[in-house]
Amino acid sequence: MFTLVWQLLVTFLLIVLAVLVLQLLRPPKRRADEKKVTVMRNKLYTVPLDEPSRFLVDYLMAKLTSKFDYKFQSGLVARLPEEAFSPTRGQFFCSVILNKLQLLKGNDAEIILAVTDEDLFLTTDSFVFGHADPLGRVAVVSSHRLHPEFYGLPQSNRILKERLVKVAIHQLGHINGLSNCDNPDCVMFKATSITEMDDRQDGFCPRCLMELAIPSKVGKL
């Protein structure tokens, strides 16, 4: 009788031991709330194309950081391509500049936002404050017509920077799938004059926010 009880006890202990070993060897089960997807944020390079733009780039990067969830980068070196200049107009052609900027990209996901103090134009516009190529994910903005002194007014770096931020956000909106907006208060409204530029805000309207294809810090807009 004692032998039978002892055999049963040993068998029970062996079963318990086997179960414990199997539990230790089994990979731990992840809880649903532990499942995380790592998303690689796109890199955005801010690139000055001339000396006057260098002091604006750092400010622009700081302001855009409060608006967009990019991995902001610096260090790319570029200058305005000579072939983009039109001697008859005294302006630089945006399309040529954007084509050159694409050559600086390490991969298709990277975004380049270039800044220049020179005047820009397109075949369809006698001047532009900026222009973007959504497919190429490159953009250029100009501070040339953003200076108050361009309009015969006293110099103001504050006004210049506020205007430049609006232009930059507008172009990044295009890169991320937004079209021009018909809401004059929205940053995606196409400003064709400095008055319209000053009247519009530096944030997206509710409709554009819904369409925005990138993570944005909505509370900051």
The CATH number covering residue 127 comes to 3.40.390.10
| Residue 68 belongs to a domain | yes
CB atoms within 10 A of CB 138: 27
Mean pLDDT of 43-58: 91
| Residue 219 belongs to a domain | no
Phi (first) and psi of residue 175, to 5 degrees: -60, -30
Full domain range(s) for residue 132 = 43-178
* Residue-wise pLDDT tens digits, 115-148: 999 999 999 999 999 999 999 999 999 999 999 9
Compute the distance between CA of residue 159 and CA of residue 140 in angstroms, rounded to an integer. 19
| Residue 5 belongs to a domain | no
| Residue 100 belongs to a domain | yes
Work out how many domains the chain is built from and give that number: 1
| Residue 212 belongs to a domain | no
Which pLDDT belongs to residue 178? 93
| Residue 111 belongs to a domain | yes
More confident residue, 85 or 43: 85
| Residue 20 belongs to a domain | no
As a whole number of Å, the CA-based R_g of the chain is 28
